[in-house]
Amino acid sequence: MDELKFYSYPSCTSCRRTKSWLKSQGVEFNEQHLFRETPDVDELRKILSLTTQGIDEILATRSKEYKELGIDVDDLSLSEFLDLVIEKPKLLRRPILTNGEKLVVGYNLEGLRAITNNRMEYTANIS
């Protein structure tokens, strides 16, 4: 597995839950503060290339920043969209994890297991 890149924001509940799970599983990762070290155009293009739903998968449409835009991002070119996200990184859903081949957006336990190759099965003790 390539190095796991973890784009996060410390105040984000989903980011904290994801980070906690990764640490509890002993998974090593390289964390990048999403707002202080916003991904550049090449990183964003790579992230988008790994999505199954394109822009919709990484865009935080319920965020205040998105609602205040007052524009339809579908009307933007890819370059315009990337420039907008670099200017306003709060438009990105969080966290974003990638190993260069797979992508997980948000706290998604099934996705985390897949990207970390952690196939642990949990069993319940029935008494």
Residues with a catalytic annotation lie at 12
b vs e for 1-28, b when ≥16 Cβ sit within 10 Å of the residue's Cβ? eeebbbbbbeebebbeebbebbeeeebe
Closest CA to 51 of 103, 10, 123, 125: 103
- Report the chain's terminal Cα–Cα distance, integer Å: 39
